[in-house]
């Protein structure tokens, strides 16, 4: 594997890559980096693919534009289109985890000529819904259910990143712990917080890194977020309502390329995104497989690297 910088239109992207052959892009989520795909890069390269895992816009060694408007879903998909071209290719398979999954789904939705197949991990495709932007709807639903505030709504605050930046090591330690499958159910986050309690305050102070994350790997994240901060990553969340306003042209459009979806049985994200799993086939007619990995949490490609690798390789072989 090697790490290098690739200059695309208006953005310098740092990528982790290995192998030769058909291109597979691996898109990380929050709060992660391209190195979260290390096991997949190795496995795909060994199987005859060119595996590329970028640090996404706002993260790690990639540029960090200022302002919410720079982080719309159209910008994020455009980054991946540019990256494919900069890598000398005209098509690829795209795989995304967490926030990377919506980007991957929209890559396939917007540019099926470039992204000829898609795999989403942990977050199913969520089609644009009529009736108004999503964050007020999420806030109203949380309040009606008596669940408190969803962290996504808390992240809308312009200064929300400052609390996360106060101690990046503690922030990352708590977030990885709270969404991991090995964490006891009663200590996992649901994503909801009582009024007046912050996300970090809602997670046990004794939380430690998950069993699959060694000290060196954890340090990679701490160093990256200590240097780059959390403002860019939170802008992905702050752009949710902007995304809704920009994508009216996608209303009722389906993803028509072959697809795979994998989720951990104990992934807390299923508390607020899981309902989309039941209708996924309606919106992704060529969904080849939907797999729920027993006992796994949210960091699925690292928690269950061998299982995810096997599922990806089987999916790719069937294309």
Residue 31, preceding peptide bond in cis (omega within 30° of 0): yes
- Write down the architecture of domain 2-130+239-317 according to CATH: 3-Layer(aba) Sandwich (3.40)
pLDDT digits (tens, 9 = 90+) for 77-88: 999 999 999 999
Asked if 298 is an active-site residue, the reply is: yes
- Res 174: pLDDT: 97
Q: What are the φ/ψ torsions at residue 138 (nearest 5 degrees)?
A: -60, -40
Q: Which of 55, 98, 231, 267 is catalytic?
A: 98
Tokens at residue 50, please?
A: 């060119």
* Cα gap 83→50, rounded to integer Å: 13
Q: How far is CA 188 from the centre of its chain?
A: 19
Of how many residues is the chain composed? 319
DSSP-assigned letter for residue 248: G
Tokens at residue 157, please?
A: 């605050």
Give the residue among 50, 91, 38 at the shortest CA–CA distance from 308. Answer: 38
pLDDT tens by residue, the chain, 319 residues: 999 999 998 899 999 999 999 999 999 999 999 999 999 999 999 999 999 999 999 999 999 999 999 999 999 999 999 999 999 999 999 999 999 999 999 999 999 999 999 999 999 999 999 989 999 998 988 887 778 899 999 999 999 999 999 999 999 999 999 999 999 999 999 999 998 899 999 999 999 999 999 999 999 999 999 999 999 999 999 999 999 999 999 999 999 999 999 999 999 999 888 889 999 999 999 999 999 999 999 999 999 999 999 999 999 999 9
Whether the full predicted model's pTM is greater than 0.95, yes or no, is yes
For the chain, give every domain's residue range.
Answer: 2-130+239-317, 134-237
Tally Cβ neighbours within 10 Å of residue 169. 15
Q: Which of 28, 50, 106, 298 is catalytic?
A: 298
Give the residue among 41, 124, 48 at the shortest CA–CA distance from 301. Answer: 41
| Number of helices followed by number of strands (H, E) in the chain | 14, 10
């Amino acid at each position: 594997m090697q790490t290098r910088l690739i200059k695309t239109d208006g953005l310098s992207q740092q990528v982790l890559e290995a192998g030769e052959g058909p291109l597979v892009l691996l898109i990380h989520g929050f709060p992660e980096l391209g190195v979260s795909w290390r096991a997949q890069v190795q496995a795909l390269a060994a199987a005859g693919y060119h595996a590329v895992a970028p640090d996404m816009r706002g993260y790690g060694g990639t540029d960090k534009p200022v302002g919410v408007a720079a982080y719309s879903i159209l910008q994020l998909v455009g980054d991946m289109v540019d990256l494919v071209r900069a890598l000398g290719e005209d098509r690829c398979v795209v795989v995304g985890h967490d926030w990377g999954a919506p980007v991957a789904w929209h890559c396939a939705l917007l540019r099926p000529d470039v992204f000829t197949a898609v795999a989403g991990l942990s977050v199913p495709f969520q089609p644009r819904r009529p009736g108004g932007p999503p964050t007020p709807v999420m806030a109203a639903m949380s309040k009606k259910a008596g669940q408190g505030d969803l962290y996504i709504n808390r992240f809308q605050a312009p200064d929300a990143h400052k609390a996360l930046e106060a101690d990046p090591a503690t922030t990352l330690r708590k977030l990885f712990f709270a969404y991991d499958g090995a964490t006891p159910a009663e200590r996992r986050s649901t994503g909801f917080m009582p009024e007046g309690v912050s996300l970090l305050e809602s997670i046990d102070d004794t939380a430690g890194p998950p069993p699959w994350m060694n000290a060196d790997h954890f340090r990679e994240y701490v160093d990256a977020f200590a240097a780059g901060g959390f403002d860019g990553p939170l802008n992905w969340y702050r752009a949710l309502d902007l995304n809704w306003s920009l994508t009216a042209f996608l209303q009722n459009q389906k993803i028509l390329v072959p697809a795979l979806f994998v989720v951990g049985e104990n992934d807390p994200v299923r508390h607020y995104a899981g309902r989309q799993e039941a209708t996924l086939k309606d919106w992704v007619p060529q969904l080849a497989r939907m797999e729920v990995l027993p006992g796994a949490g949210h960091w699925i490609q690292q928690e269950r690297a061998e299982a995810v690798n096997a599922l990806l390789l089987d999916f790719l072989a069937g294309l």
